[in-house]
Structure 1
């Protein structure tokens, strides 16, 4: 009898990792998973089948060891510093105003890895919150090895590369060939081993936290686990509490129970006092006016000047619609007039900072002006605001490919392939550079083959 695919040891391990740890691995990781499976089974004197059978039982120590072998802990202090600036200048003052009678703040770092994020939170709190207040900072991770390093508080100089000089002088001291966290700060942070695939009614008590950081974790989880983790975190935030996600994670523009906030060049989420009511059913798609539809066709044909003349014929309220401005901006960018196109985008974002398409066009303008960092930032915002938007993923993949970041390129291009199948015709016309759906998918696959 032929063996079913699900009977393969690596396939079975992948399933168990999803069930027990909530971690997602595609078949591109089969070689890594096979190597780790063989190593772990041999270490315990078991066959691969025997090891997998044992893993289905309550073998928590081995699950922790597996998590340690499978996770890559690449982080540093004050990573994505704009989020810490928003924390210091917007979030903490707001939470202190809300909790003036209680004089206590509770912060959580989910997926804290080797502790740099949790200690960065502690440094910001120490600099902004009066000593008369009580502050609790907890770091959670499933990787025991990473937690041991976090609790030891010893790091290389390289991990301080984004750390402000005042914080360097105040909270670190030389230790061997690296640095060590000052004991005053280390005592402010508590680290806890926790598997996010499992609930904990104490760690995630309703309304407990003022601030939660959960950055660059969701992308490693199965969709069901990621959804559950977000629901659990949302529940655990106090009304008016804040959630920060990583640039690779997104909840869209209007996640349940959360409102998107924007400052310091970054997006984050505020817990609304009452759950937002479900969104109204999507209205019927309003037919495009004939002129805008024609302008889109001309855009795809790279007849940019003709497209602009067609838009000039639109009058009244239709001429002032964001969709009309967006088409005009794409036509201007096609002509090489990225300055005027970018200005249109900025005016659109003044109206609605959550307009993903305007962020995408602004990113394309920055690429045309050879400003890759600014382009990457707005591509990421567009992808965060609309998880189903394929075009920012495609552009992020190509930018990563250009800079030699193979892992990032593979992740973004693979995501783009899946999303392009459902991308709207209008967005492909706007942002596809004259290419159709099939050609864009073929481009992604060719680039994926080149980085594999």
Structure 2
């Protein structure tokens, strides 16, 4: 039988490791979990607590999160919040993000994924054109529910509040329930994360346009809750929105946020930071918009090994080049996977690079290459974003020109091909090697000119 001192110490350690707080009516469950986990490791409760207190024990923390968390949820839970999202928030974000045509969404405490997929469906329904890019990240500390989320398969009970038209459009019937349509599932990624810990890349400044964090804050200690508020506020882009659970509140005057009310629904908007006065424009043309490119060689991959892998790529020895890279997450790995026809793995590599480093032109170009095999509209959207992020990047312009030619849009094709022809002269050798499909600068330039002639559009 668990003693009061062991139980008190266990609760203190749970607050320390998970940031969770517990009410007195949780004592029975908490005591049962302590006894069960200690026995699972063949330890006395005291030895188990000493080990839990002594060093990082990541696998056990995940087991505790699984044993102690409440995971019941369903699609479009709290329908009134989703109504505000669809009628007010998403139209505003679409208007303000029209230049970049990207919506970045974060589901904090996503449980088994219903909320994250609901957000993806709402955004997919609201976006005005197929070339808009929607990305949703869902995080939870419970490893078991994340496995269910990644499966994207649910019982009819999980869809009990889902409108019939939404069910028909965005779900596919299975033998025992429903599966989220691949168009939605492909935009959602899940990660194991303990909100009491730190992850600078996950919580990068201005990384998201919309954050949902519902029915989690009430379980956190005051310090962890306050820190999470700060992280969410900082992670929202200017004009971005935050939705909390009905029992949660940031107070009447949250720092950096505006409180919004629609009927009985309260939510928050990140204040827009005033722009600094701009200096008088220089006579030269404006600089290109640039975002950091994804790691090429990376800190764990020596320059010699990377050059060897590039050489193997140049010789079309893709499998050998992939072996040389091993499991390291670098752009070259994604390119090689695509060349070998392992498109899903290539797409996943690009997504992980974006998750770690934010929007990056080379990673989005790789996504475009992957999508050309199954959805030309999504491919064009990825190429547009790559060109937007780096206006000197020739390769996405070339690909958009070729896709436009395929559609019979000779005028649009000519615009892109002329831009590609102009930019190819300064394109880096590495990008040509990665994305040129085995063609060099001269061959790509010739291809541009040939396709331009075929367009028959006079300038």
- 2:15 aligned with 1:18: yes
In structure 1, the residue matched to 2:93 is 95
- Residue 11 of structure 1: how far off its partner (Å): 0.5
- Residue 91 of structure 1: how far off its partner (Å): 1.1
Structure 2 spans left out of the alignment, 5+ residues: 275-459
- 2:24 aligned with 1:27: yes
In structure 1, the residue matched to 2:259 is 260
Q: 1:229 to 1:253 in 2, by over 3 A?
A: same
In structure 2, the residue matched to 1:214 is 213
TM-score, scaled to structure 2:
0.57
3-state SS, counterpart of residue 191 of structure 1 = strand
3-state SS, counterpart of residue 212 of structure 1 = strand
CA distance in structure 2 between the partners assigned to 1:169 and 1:7 by the alignment: 53
Instruction: Tell me, yes or no, if the aligned pair for 1:82 and 1:264 is still in contact at 8 Å.
Output: no
- 2:116 aligned with 1:110: no
Which residue, 73, 76, 81 being the options, matches 2:74? 76
- Residue 180 of structure 1: how far off its partner (Å): 1.6
CA distance in structure 2 between the partners assigned to 1:101 and 1:183 by the alignment: 26
- Residue 177 of structure 1: how far off its partner (Å): 2.5
CA distance in structure 2 between the partners assigned to 1:208 and 1:182 by the alignment: 26
- 2:41 aligned with 1:50: no
Instruction: Tell me, yes or no, if the aligned pair for 1:85 and 1:264 is still in contact at 8 Å.
Output: no
- 2:152 aligned with 1:153: yes
CA distance in structure 2 between the partners assigned to 1:184 and 1:59 by the alignment: 37
CA distance in structure 2 between the partners assigned to 1:245 and 1:61 by the alignment: 29
In structure 2, the residue matched to 1:176 is 175
Once the two structures are superposed, the pairs formed by residues 283-362 of structure 1 within 5 Å of their partners are none
CA distance in structure 2 between the partners assigned to 1:23 and 1:121 by the alignment: 26
Instruction: Tell me, yes or no, if the aligned pair for 1:112 and 1:139 is still in contact at 8 Å.
Output: yes
CA distance in structure 1 between the partners assigned to 2:23 and 2:80 by the alignment: 32
In structure 1, the residue matched to 2:246 is 247
Which string of whole-angstrom CA distances, capped at 9 and with x for unpartnered residues, describes residues 314-338 of structure 1? Answer: xxxxxxxxxxxxxxxxxxxxxxxxx
Which residue, 41, 59, 62 being the options, matches 1:61? 59
- Residue 137 of structure 1: how far off its partner (Å): 0.4
In structure 1, the residue matched to 2:38 is 41
CA distance in structure 1 between the partners assigned to 2:164 and 2:193 by the alignment: 33
CA distance in structure 1 between the partners assigned to 2:182 and 2:48 by the alignment: 41
Q: 1:124 to 1:38 in 2, by over 3 A?
A: same
Structure 1 spans left out of the alignment, 5+ residues: 276-452
- Residue 105 of structure 1: how far off its partner (Å): 1.0
In structure 1, the residue matched to 2:202 is 203
3-state SS, counterpart of residue 269 of structure 2 = strand
Once the two structures are superposed, the pairs formed by residues 344-423 of structure 1 within 5 Å of their partners are none
- Residue 28 of structure 1: how far off its partner (Å): 2.7
CA distance in structure 2 between the partners assigned to 1:37 and 1:216 by the alignment: 24
CA distance in structure 2 between the partners assigned to 1:30 and 1:95 by the alignment: 44
- Residue 204 of structure 1: how far off its partner (Å): 0.8
Which string of whole-angstrom CA distances, capped at 9 and with x for unpartnered residues, describes residues 161-198 of structure 1? Answer: 11111110012222233222122221110001000001
In structure 1, the residue matched to 2:189 is 190
- Residue 263 of structure 1: how far off its partner (Å): 2.1
CA distance in structure 1 between the partners assigned to 2:152 and 2:98 by the alignment: 32
3-state SS, counterpart of residue 14 of structure 1 = helix
